[in-house]
Structure 1
Amino acid sequence: MKLQAVSNRKLYIQIADQIRDQIHAGEVEPGRQLPSERDLALSLGVSRPTVREALIALEVAGLVEVRVGVGAFVRKRENASEALPEMNASPLEIMAVRRLLEPEAAALASQNLSAEGQARLAETLRRMRAENQQGQWSAESDRTLHMTLADACGNALLREMLDGLWNSRQGAVDTRFHQHLADIGEVRDHILADHEAIVAAVLSGNAEASRTAMARHLAFASEAMLETWE
């Protein structure tokens, strides 16, 4: 596939546009595998995670099927939409800002969490354990846990910023990105253990331990988003 390096506009959408044009031109037939993330990244002069965002956008549009651990395969065009899902922020951008803000929110929550908040965290963890035992992961449970801490941080502006970040995560590309991660059992287990550690630290009232537990969790999630899927 001959692709051109891109600039301006959301990078992952520009890449997705080019790959879509190649697919529509018949250069890659339905059922065939696209070049690897590494090869696409080298051709475009961009990072592999950015290529991954582009492939997931194409998957949401119905143009490709992403198989974690294998690669991306072209689907039949009758299942595809012409419109690519574009967001104000990419999944990687959202995660980068969360890593700046959420550790401090967790530290503040450890000093301000109400009895109602404690009960909500306990119930959310119970639900997460049950979901994980069934091989599932729930974006709703994930958001509930993190936003319970944001609600308890005692800073209205910080809470509003975190709410905006989590609203941004409801986009189709971000949702699919995280679902691919959650389909990996080891990742689900690690995320559950991280959430257990965060809640334990917050309930202990230890601000530094809460900050550290949240930072470790988000660092793991960020690294998982960057790791090779092929």
Structure 2
Amino acid sequence: MSLGALRPSPLVEQATEHLRDQITGGEWPVGTKLPGETSLAKSLGVGRSTVREALRALAGAGLVQARQGSGVFVIATKPKEDWSAQLRRAAITDVYEVRLLVEVEAAQLAAQRRTEEDVTALNEALARRRAAADAGDAEFVAADIALHRTVVDAAHNPVLTGLFAEFVPVLERRLLDLVELLGLRSDDANHGDAGHADLVDAVVRGDAGAAGRALGDELRGTLALLHTL
């Protein structure tokens, strides 16, 4: 079976796409052993190293699995849904439960690791959140998320920072809906200011326990509201 020669660049992406199409299109059902690297390379008109990288990408997508001494086998005909896609479809209550796990720990680490630059950034983020109370809901939500991001950044853990960044697009959309739906700012334009001030104060003072409690109380309060909807 000829898969068709590829254009010069980018070879790995093209090879991956061609092989993925063969799998998702049903040419290679689940359980099928793929042709060897040499055979695939010849069919695609690329080198074995390109095929090897393409197979790694397909394995990462959950479509194939290499078995020692046996070859590479198809294990699924639909790629695994990536983390970003799962977040976009997730219920907001599920998102908040994960936020509790991630951000409370981040706040505690931030209290232990914050630098003078972090202290300045935290105070500025709190000031911007307060200033945004006079703006629209979208600006206020953006300032709120920015403060939370600053706390996570102060933990100085790139994995936590990257994980929180994945939440941001979902949070911006969902929080704006929540603020409007529940009318959270109708009586208090700077909703949640006291809790955020406590959070910043605890991180600045280096009180990890207080920082975790302040952030946990805020997120649990919102989660409780969500469960009433």
TM range (shorter): 0.5 to 0.7
Give the aligned residue type for 1:180.
L
Give the aligned residue type for 2:178.
F
CA–CA separation in structure 2 for the residues paired with 1:185 and 1:98: 25
Pair 1:151 & 2:153 matched:
yes
CA–CA separation in structure 2 for the residues paired with 1:170 and 1:132: 16
Give the aligned residue type for 2:140.
S
Residue of structure 1 equivalent to 2:56 = none
Residue of structure 1 equivalent to 2:112 = 111
Compare 178-187 and 152-161 and name the one that shifted more.
178-187
Q: Runs of 4 or more off by more than 4 Å in structure 1? A: 133-137, 186-190
Contact 1:182 1:188 in 2 (8 A): no
User: After the TM superposition, which residues 48-87 of structure 1 pair with which residues of structure 2 at under 5 Å, given as runs?
Assistant: 87=88
Q: CA RMSD in A?
A: 2.5
Residue from 138, 141, 144 that aligns with 1:139: 141
Residue of structure 2 equivalent to 1:23 = none
Q: Return the offset for 1:109.
A: 0.4
Q: Return the offset for 1:225.
A: 2.1
Residue of structure 1 equivalent to 2:84 = none
Contact 1:91 1:177 in 2 (8 A): no
Contact 1:103 1:214 in 2 (8 A): yes
Q: Return the offset for 1:131.
A: 2.9
TM-score (norm 1): 0.54
CA–CA separation in structure 1 for the residues paired with 2:180 and 2:117: 29
SS at match of 1:138: helix
How many residues are treated as equivalent by the alignment? 142
Give the aligned residue type for 1:141.
A
Residue of structure 1 equivalent to 2:227 = 226
CA–CA separation in structure 2 for the residues paired with 1:130 and 1:174: 18
Give the aligned residue type for 2:141.
A
CA–CA separation in structure 2 for the residues paired with 1:129 and 1:223: 24
Residue of structure 2 equivalent to 1:97 = 98
Contact 1:150 1:159 in 2 (8 A): yes
Deviations 1:126-171 (A, max 9, x none): 2222333568561211111111111111222122111112232234
Taking every aligned residue pair, what percent have the same amino acid on both sides?
A: 27
CA–CA separation in structure 1 for the residues paired with 2:228 and 2:91: 17
CA–CA separation in structure 1 for the residues paired with 2:183 and 2:122: 20
CA–CA separation in structure 2 for the residues paired with 1:182 and 1:99: 23
Residue of structure 2 equivalent to 1:175 = 176
Contact 2:129 2:140 in 1 (8 A): yes
Q: How has the CA–CA distance of structure 1 residues 187 and 160 changed in structure 2, closer, same or farther, with 3 Å as cutoff?
A: farther
TM-score (norm 2): 0.54
CA–CA separation in structure 1 for the residues paired with 2:134 and 2:127: 11
CA–CA separation in structure 1 for the residues paired with 2:122 and 2:196: 10
Pair 1:207 & 2:188 matched:
no
Q: How has the CA–CA distance of structure 1 residues 208 and 226 changed in structure 2, closer, same or farther, with 3 Å as cutoff?
A: same
Q: Which fold has the larger relative contact order, with Cα–Cα distance below 8 Å and residues 6 or more apart in sequence?
A: 1
CA–CA separation in structure 2 for the residues paired with 1:182 and 1:200: 27
Q: Return the offset for 1:187.
A: 6.3
Q: Which runs of 5+ in 1 are unaligned?
A: 1-85
Q: Return the offset for 1:113.
A: 1.5
Give the aligned residue type for 2:90.
A
Give the structure with higher Rg (CA): 2
Q: Return the offset for 1:198.
A: 0.4
